[in-house]
Amino acid sequence: MSKVVVVGSYVVDLMSRTPHLPKPGETVLGGPFKMGPGGKGGNQATAAARCGSEVTFVTKLGGDVFGREALAHFQAENVNTEFIKVDPNQATGAALIAVDDNSENSIVVSLGACGTITEAEVMEAEEEIKCGDIVLLQLETSIEAVVTAVKLAKKYRVPVILNPAPYQEFPKEILRDVAFITPNETEAFELSGIEVKDEHSALAAAQKIHEMGVDTVIITLGSKGAFLYTGGEKGDLVPGFKVEAIDTTGAGDAFNGGFAHALSNGQSVREAMTFANAVAALSVTKIGTAPAMPNKQEVKTFLLHLGAAK
């Protein structure tokens, strides 16, 4: 079984539907309200586990009801929770999410405990990283945790996927030790200074990011799919799948979790991207983030139906 180690964030999702996203100073009557497990790290760990990977999740929770519910969720998903720390003096992270009638979303994240993950806490998972097939990271946690995980992965020659989301400044020198980077259009702009509007601009942005030292640049483009660049004068758009979207929140996390699973399971990069596009497409047909992640059979059936399975 493929082994994926996710080092990152857990926040509880507090989501409400709304006719439209509120303007500054505006109160909008919405509903229904849903609460569930979330955070980029938690979503990606759930996605990879449901796809069939053996997943270890490194994060930190607060000593509150949200933290207890988080542990119950990951135990139910068969995720290794040995390295999920609980700090009784902190609150578990929370995300306030509004989703409008067009399935667009607005999100405010309070990182809470997962924003204080230390180097020592990541180092405790050294053996898991050593034995892993893929290490999957985001920027929704302490940068200290990200840098430490990259160093450990380099030590044991384990490929790193960095999903630079939500974007915050980080030491760019670590990119030389990152095998795959998966920004969306906004994050690609933050990294490259080039606004991504189409394949031509995606290529220019990917080339700029590639020059920073990353072997493989994958810019996710929502329903259009994902743009792959590994060097040279050309890139490759791996098309997405058309579905009726209900809630696009967490689609990027679905992609990253599915991509990590497929890569660690021996698929080629392009095959893994097609698989990840399918995971992302299925995730937006349900409400929520982690609860909306499809399982392995759902993805297999979806790809078979479309004639895309290998």
pLDDT computed for residue 247 by the predictor:
85
Model pLDDT for residues 213-256, shown as the tens digit of each residue: 999 999 999 889 999 999 999 999 999 999 998 888 899 999 99
Query: Is 40 annotated among the ligand-binding residues?
Result: yes
Classified by CATH at the fold level, domain 3-305 comes out as: UDP-N-acetylmuramoyl-L-alanine:D-glutamate ligase (3.40.1190)
Distance CA 95, CA 111 (A): 8
Query: Is 283 annotated among the ligand-binding residues?
Result: yes
Query: Is 300 annotated among the ligand-binding residues?
Result: no
Query: Is 43 annotated among the ligand-binding residues?
Result: yes
Query: Is 221 annotated among the ligand-binding residues?
Result: yes
Query: Is 250 annotated among the ligand-binding residues?
Result: no
Which amino acid is present at 259? F
Query: Is 178 annotated among the ligand-binding residues?
Result: no
pLDDT computed for residue 310 by the predictor:
44
Pairing of strands 84-87, 54-62: parallel
Model pLDDT for residues 53-88, shown as the tens digit of each residue: 999 999 999 999 999 999 999 999 999 999 999 999
Query: Is 53 annotated among the ligand-binding residues?
Result: no
Q: In a structure prediction context, what are the per-residue pLDDT tens digits for the chain, which is 310 residues long? A: 799 999 999 999 899 999 999 999 999 999 889 899 999 999 999 999 999 999 999 999 999 999 999 999 999 999 999 999 999 999 999 989 898 988 888 888 899 999 999 999 999 999 999 999 999 999 999 999 999 999 999 999 999 999 999 999 999 999 999 999 999 999 999 999 999 999 999 999 999 999 999 999 999 998 899 999 999 999 999 999 999 988 888 999 999 999 999 999 999 999 999 999 999 999 999 988 899 999 999 999 999 987 654 4
Q: Which residues are catalytic?
A: 253
Model-wide pTM > 0.85: yes
pLDDT computed for residue 106 by the predictor:
87
pLDDT computed for residue 308 by the predictor:
52
